[in-house]
Structure 1
Amino acid sequence: MRSEKVEAMREQILNGPIVKTLILLAYPLIINQLVQVLYNLTDTFWLGKLGRTELSAPGTAWPLVWFFMSIGMGFATAGFAFVSQYVGAREYDKANRAAGALYSLMLIFATAVGITGVLLAPQLLHLMNVSDTIYPYALSYTRVIFGGIPFSFTLFAFNFLLRAVGDTKTPVKINIATVILNIILDPLFIFGWGPFPELGVVGAAIATMLSNTAGSIVGGYLLFTGKVGIHITPETLKPDFNFYSRIFRVGLPASIGSSTTALGFVILTRVIFTIGKLYGQAHGIPNFEDVAFATYSITNRLTNFMFAFSDGISMAMGTMVGQAIGAKLYDRAKTIAEKTMVINFTILGVGTLLFIFFRVPIFRFFINDPAVIAESAKVVKYFSASLPFFGIFAAVNNVFQSAGQTKKSMVLGMVRLWGIRLPLSYGLGVLMRDTAGMWLGMGLSNVIGAVVALAWFLRGSWMKAIIEE
């Protein structure tokens, strides 16, 4: 580890002005999040040119991919907490060993996930109650994405490790390059421009897989050559079962929490298709469940664009909180988190207003479908006002994860999704006999979840280091 660079960043994080340091760390992460959103918007834009069913294919695939990836990402969260706290405590050799152990663990796990996902994709899509019209597109897209999971995983691990030491710029450069590559490859493989075959939905998946692979290779090269703050060597990659046990102890709750959250979104997809099918007759539109899910897919992409700003700030806060806890500066960690919540709420409040005012042209940009645009009016009326509250929830969740208090994060995520969102989305959908109830349930889960998260945060039980064990 290049301790001079890391030491300088550590000093800035622990003793510099909070908001200025937060912005310094956050702006590359915000760019990075926007780049990832652009990744998804590119697929949505081009597939929208093919039709409503093709546009919906990635939206059905990603909850499944996220479910399997989230199991490993829980351990990546634990690794981030260890590395950032070791840096805060000036234990740089231990930080490198933790990084190597995490990287090798992620690679092994991701390979197993990829094989499992390819084999089980048909059964999983049937579990989601995917409509017959969308199913063939979703199946082919899902299998290709699962095939590229090992590269996606190692690219995520690279991002986590560099963020832990305060380097938020290098991952952005790599991710921007991968998105540019994806933007170039998408129409080539989807429409068969030039010498490329016309592959439709499968082409979008191949473009995504190839782009992630290129990013993963570059990230791995930087880690293994020591050209970034973390230096992984064959020695640090060797199995360290003592450290693995610590990663599993801290990471298991995070894995359970993130995977049950991801599974919750798989079930939410089933709820959307079910409510759309049950009460679509009132709209007089055939296959109204496809309309409901297409609206959800576009809404999800748009909210991800808004969350790019708040998520970037929350992740920067996570680096600062993790290092502050490692240095036992608990009051500073609390102040950092509180200021982040205020900033997030403000940003998402402004974004929500823009979303409300420009809803029609935004949706029409992706697909000029009157039924989808009409359904989006319910999104504005019943769901959009809850988005600023999610900024508070996300910040608290990130505080718990960065502190290594993964059990708290696990419970918080499960309460919001399984205890509030799923019951309310389905229950209100049935009660109101309309998809409006489903959107209202989603919105209420953000508001109630934020209140619960803030109350738990203020108790202060998260303010202790895990590296003291």
Structure 2
Amino acid sequence: MTSNIDFINADTRKAFIKMALPMMAAMFLNLAYNIMDSIWVGNLLGETAMAALTSSTPVILLLTAIGMGATNGLSIILSQKIGAGDKKQVNSLVTTSFVAAVLFSVILTIILELGLPTILNCLNTRSELFDMAYDYLAVYLLGYISTFLYLYFAALLRSYGNTSLQAISILLCTILDCILNPIFIKWIGFNGAAVTTIISESISVIILVVYLVKKKLFSLHFSLVDFHLIKPMIKNALPSIVQQSIPAISTSFLTAVISAFSVTAIAGYGITGKLETILLYPAMAFNMVMTTIIGQCVGGKRTDRANDYLKCSILNGGAIVLILSILVAVFAKPLSRLFVNTSGVAELVSMYFLIVGAGYVFNTITNCLLGTINGMGKPMVGMLLMMFYYLVVRMPLAWIFSKTFLGLNGVWLAVLISHIVACISAALYYIIYKKKSQGKTNNSIQE
């Protein structure tokens, strides 16, 4: 069984671009898909509704991160099996992981529905926003199984080197979201945005499933379920879940800190979160692409190609995000007015990107490095690095700086510092790891 792209033998640059471009397209379409909710909510319902959506966002980000982490963890082991040409293990792994994905998403949905009031209280949700945020999330959670399964099937295709269909499915759903959002928001109010999300993501799942059934890339039979695979799946998935979830936990913490300032501050922070996805999504795409590419190279015993792919990802990713960072920083005010047309929010958003803007290039380099480290089968290292610069650097500094004369600008400064620290620490680990690996190889040759 072979992947759609031969990462092991093909030209590095061509193979990388063929994988990365559709993935970036998918991420930007997903960006448009996510932004539409905020634009319609802000314009049709105003600043308070935008603030309520911001208060709901940490939960949504965490759920998405859990899904991306779990499925990316699967992608690590699956891409290695595909690279090794082990068809039997691939079929068994896909079947076992599918059963696990359904059970996990259903159980998590039930737990979160029951614990939603407690979660919102922990996020320091303001009283005037609590009911709106609760009602929105209660509806959104009903469709979480669709969100999780979409991420699962997208990860399967990505493991085979196919990212094009993900872009196509998101394009169709983004168009549908643009059409349905204003209709449902005017019909049932704020919760209409959540209903539209459920409908759109369910359609995405159907598109991916139909394609997979037609292509017959693997066999899916319950007789292939192998409980012995649960342990290696968890071993790869847990660090990836934590790795993906830590930024969402950080966002939840910062939202709680910012909630102490004002509704305008919360609405403004929500808009910065939407706009910065323009700069974060390319980095996330490169992370997932590198995980798959390096995973297949490891499976095919060609780890020597890792450096070539890493350089390619850093050069391309860094250049793209540098240009985007400049554009977002320059046009921050008019972009913010697309969501909420108030001067206070526009000033806050503009200041955020003036302070944090340079950090996104560092973040892109970090993600390229983390994707490489994950693909080498070391997601635990990526998890520990993420814990360091979010939990040890960003969150404490944000809280401390927010209590000083810097106020909100202190929170933004903490974000910038964490991006820089993240890049330096990931680069140092990779350099040390490569030196140790080369040393072992040289010793083996001499022996």
Category of TM-score, reference length = shorter chain: over 0.9
Greater CA drift, 67-76 or 150-159: 67-76
Structure 1 pair 97/40, CA: closer, same or farther in 2 (3 Å)?
Answer: same
Distance 1:119 1:31 in 2: 36
Partner of 2:231: 245
User: What do residues 368-392 of structure 1 show as CA deviations (whole Å, max 9, x unaligned)?
Assistant: 1111012123213321121111101
Equivalent of 1:23 in 2, 17, 20: 17
- Please say if 1:34 is aligned against 2:20: no
* Displacement of 1:394: 1.4
Residue 153 of structure 2 aligns with which residue?
A: 158
Aligned twin of 1:286: none
Q: How does 1:162-311 map to 2 (within 5 A)?
A: 162-191=157-186, 198-223=187-212, 225-227=213-215, 229-236=217-224, 238=225, 240-274=226-260, 276=261, 289-311=262-284
Letter in 2 for 1:163: R
Decide which of 315, 328, 347 is 1:355's aligned counterpart: 328
CA contact (8 A) 2:64 2:147 kept: no
Distance 1:68 1:368, change over 3 A: closer
Task: Tell me what 1:386 maps to.
Answer: 359
Residue number in structure 1 paired with 2:128: 133
Structure 1 residue identity aligned to 2:211: L
The amino acid across from 1:386 in the alignment is: G
Equivalent in the alignment of 1:375: 348
When residues 104 and 58 of structure 1 are mapped into structure 2, their CA distance, relative to the original with a 3 A threshold, is farther
Does the aligned pair in 1 maintain the 2:96–2:227 contact within 8 Å? no
CA–CA distance in 1 between the matches of 2:164 and 2:217? 11
- Report the Cα distance in structure 2 between the residues aligned to 1:178 and 1:204, rounded to whole angstroms: 14
In the superposition, the TM-score normalised over structure 1's length comes to: 0.88
- Write the distance in 1 (CA, Å) between the matches of 2:200 and 2:69: 24
Identity of counterpart residues, as a percentage? 24
Cα deviation, 1:23-50, whole Å, max 9, x if unaligned, reads 1111111111011111111011101111
Deviations 1:96-133 (A, max 9, x none): 22122111111100001111121211111111111222
2:441 corresponds to: none
TM-aligned CA distance change 1:457 to 1:352, over 3 Å = same
1 CA distance for matches of 2:112 and 2:286? 32
* Equivalent residue number for residue 53 of structure 2: 58
In 1, Cα distance between equivalents of 2:406 and 2:25: 41
- 1:312-351 → structure 2 map (5 Å cutoff): 312-351=285-324
Question: Structure 2 matches for 1:440-459, cutoff 5 A?
Answer: 440-459=413-432
Out of 122, 137, 144, the residue aligned to residue 117 of structure 2 is 122
How far, CA to CA, are the matches of 1:319 and 1:297 in structure 2? 32
Stretches of structure 1 lacking an aligned partner (at least 5 in a row): 192-197, 277-288, 465-469
Contact 2:65 2:244 in 1 (8 A): yes
Partners of 2:287 and 2:370 within 8 A in 1: no
Distance 1:355 1:68, change over 3 A: closer
Aligned to 1:406: 379
* One-letter amino acid of the counterpart of residue 11, structure 2: P
Are 1:103 and 2:114 matched, yes or no? no
Of the three residues 32, 35, 43, the one matched with 2:37 is: 43
Distance 1:46 1:386, change over 3 A: same
- CA distance, structure 1, for counterparts of residue 374 and residue 319 of structure 2: 23
One-letter amino acid of the counterpart of residue 115, structure 2: L
**Would you say how many aligned residue pairs link Structure 1 and Structure 2?**
436
- Name the residue aligned to 1:142: 137
Work out whether residues 78 and 404 of structure 1, in 8 Å CA contact, stay in contact via their aligned partners in 2.
no
C-alpha distance in 1, partners of 2:414/2:217? 44
> Match for 1:427 among 377, 391, 400?
400
| Alpha-carbon contact 2:271-2:349 (below 8 Å) kept | no
| Gap change, CA 1:463 and 1:342, over 3 Å in 2 | farther
Alpha carbons 2:65, 2:241 under 8 Å: kept: yes
Q: What is the deviation of 1:138?
A: 1.1
Question: Hey, what's the Cα distance between the residues in 2 that align with 1:24 and 1:257?
Answer: 26
Q: What TM-score results when the alignment is normalised by the length of structure 2? A: 0.92
SS in 1 for 2:73: helix
